[in-house]
Amino acid sequence: MLVLAGDVGGTKTALALAQGGTIIERRVFPSAAYTSLEALVSEFLGQRGKEISRACFGIAGPVSEDSVRTTNLRWVVEARSLERTLRVPRVTLVNDFHALAIGITVLPASDLAVLNDSPSDPKGPWVLIGAGTGLGEAVVVHTGNGYEVIASEGGHTDFAPRNELEIDLLRFLLKRHERVSYERIICGRGLVALYEFMRGRSPEAESSAVREEIARSSGDAAPIISGHGLAGDDPLCTQVLSLFVSIYGAEAGNLALKVVARGGVFIAGGIAPKILPKLLDGTFRSSFVAKGRLSPLLEATPVKVVLNSDAGLLGAAALAARLAL
C-alpha cells in the first residue's frame, strides 16, 4: 500500500511517498513558488496518482470541514479538490501540528534533545510548540484507544510582556501591527523584528559587518542573526537571540500551564534544531519555569526538542495509512 504524506508550511512543503511506515521517496518544495497545493503535488507525483491508496496533508492553518485557508500562504486547500486533481481515492487534511504530534509518538529517543530532565507522567497530557514561518501549538491527551490530538492556534494569542524591555517591544510592534501575538515574535520574521527593535534602542551596537551581511541576504536575515548569536561574535545578535529564546521559553511555559502538561513539552519546528546550543544554555528553561507559585510544577515538567525534521511527514504518513485500514 502506497500512501502520500505532506507537511505543508508557509516557507516550504515536504512531500513523501511511504509504504509500511517507511518513507521511500521525499522532496521539499518552496511553497510560495506554487499557486496551489494541487500544482505542487502534481509536479511531485507526475503520473503516479493512480498508484496511491490514501493521502494525508498536515497544513499550517485551522482545518474545518476538510478545507483550510493557509495562514502564511494565499492558498485555499480542499480535500475533495485534491482527490479529483490527483486521482487519489481519499485525501485527509489535518493541522500540521496534529500530524507532528502523531509523528513524535514514533520517534526514537535519539531524535530528541532534553531541555528539562524530569520524569514524564505516561497518562498525563502533553503539548508541543514550534517556531518556523509561524508558531504552532497543539495539545495531546490519552484516551482508551491511544491519543487524541487537539489542534490549536495558540500561537496567535496576545503577546504578554513580562518586564520593561518587553513592554517597550510591545510598543514597538504595535506601530507595525494592529495586534501583537506571540507569532509576531517567535518565528523567523520575529527574530528579525527583535533585531530591528534592539538596534533601534542602541543604534551604535550594530556592527557594520553584520549590517552589510544582512543587506546582501536577499531578505532573509534570520539565519545571519541567529548564526552570529550562536557564535557569540556579535553583541547585538547575541542579545537578540537571548531575548528570542527567553520569550519562546515563557510561551512554552504558558502552554504547559494551561493543560498541566505532566506528560511533557516538545519543542518542534524548523528553528529549534538550528539554535539548539542556545536552547540548552539555560535561557529557555529559566523563562519556562518562572511562573511564580506554579514554578515547582514547571520544574517537574519534562521538556524535549524534536530534532527529526521529518516528524510531521511521518505523522501524516501514519494517518494516511490508518485511513486505508
Q: Are 10 and 325 in contact (CB under 8 A)?
A: no
Long-range contacts, 230-238 (Cβ 8 Å, 24+)? 230/275, 230/277, 230/278, 234/207, 234/210, 235/205, 236/195, 236/198, 236/199, 236/202, 236/205, 236/206, 236/207, 236/210, 237/195, 237/210
Specify the DSSP class assigned to residue 89: S
**For residue 234, which of 205, 258, 203, 262 has the smallest C-alpha distance?**
205
Q: What's the grid cell of residue 143?
A: 484516551
* Burial degree of 149 (CB within 10 A; 0-12, 13-18, 19+): buried
DSSP-based three-state secondary structure for 127: strand
Q: Are 79 and 115 in contact (CB under 8 A)?
A: no
The answer to whether 7 is annotated as binding is yes
Specify the DSSP class assigned to residue 164: H
DSSP-based three-state secondary structure for 142: strand
The answer to whether 10 is annotated as binding is yes
The answer to whether 133 is annotated as binding is no
Q: Which residue positions form the known binding site for ATP?
A: 6-11
Q: Which residue positions form the known binding site?
A: 6-11
